[in-house]
Structure 1
Amino acid sequence: MLILTDNATAVVKGFADQIPEAEGLRITSGTSDEPSLAVTPANSAEPGDSVVEQDGATVFLDESATTLLDDKVLDARVDAEGNVEFGLGQQA
């Protein structure tokens, strides 16, 4: 199952705090030959989603993203302009 770093946990909780209708973030996988992921605020899980809850942060994963991210660690950082950048690493 996907693991969140402390930074990613703080960013996800920040989104939920700033967007009243968002319970957390939803990660979906694209349908192209190249793996791609989209991250959007979400109020709840969609049918078939997996839910990752960690230290008050909630991430919803569609079925394809669940498979792609099963052995990954999600990290995040916020740059000086306030832009969020997510990164993935392999679980140890």
Structure 2
Amino acid sequence: MLALTENVTEIVKHLTDEVPAVAGIRIATEPDGQSLSVSPADQAAPTDQVIEQDGATVYVDESATALLDDKVLDGGVDAEGNIEFALGQQA
């Protein structure tokens, strides 16, 4: 299962606190089957895997679940306030 860093949980919690219509973030596979997108979400899709950690919720679409099974999601905020995400291998 995808693991979340403390950075990501803080980013997601901040986002959901600031935007009440957002319940978490959703990671989905793009049509090319190789790329992933991350977007705010108000709820999970019926086949999404739901990851809840330290008050943060991340929805992972069914196609992305297998790709991310052994990964760690990290994130940060750049100088302009843009959220950036990165994937790493679980130890």
TM-score range with shorter-chain normalisation? over 0.9
Match runs of 1:1-92 below 5 Å = 1-33=1-33, 35-92=34-91
**SS of the residue 1:40 aligns to:** strand
Structure 1-normalised TM-score? 0.94
The alpha carbon displacement at 1:31 in A equals 2.1
Say how many residue pairs are matched.
91
**C-alpha deviation, 1:18, in angstroms:** 1.5
- The AA in structure 1 aligned to 2:2 is L
Q: For residues 12-57 of structure 1, what are the alpha-carbon distances to aligned partners after superposition, in whole Å with 9 as ceiling and x for unaligned?
A: 1111111111110011011215x11111111111010000001000
Which segments of 5 or more consecutive residues in structure 2 lack a partner in the other structure? none
RMSD: 0.9
Unmatched 5+ stretches in structure 1 = none
The sequence identity of aligned pairs, in percent, is 60
Q: Distance in 2 between matches of 1:31 and 1:91?
A: 26
TM-score (norm 2): 0.95
SS at match of 2:12: helix
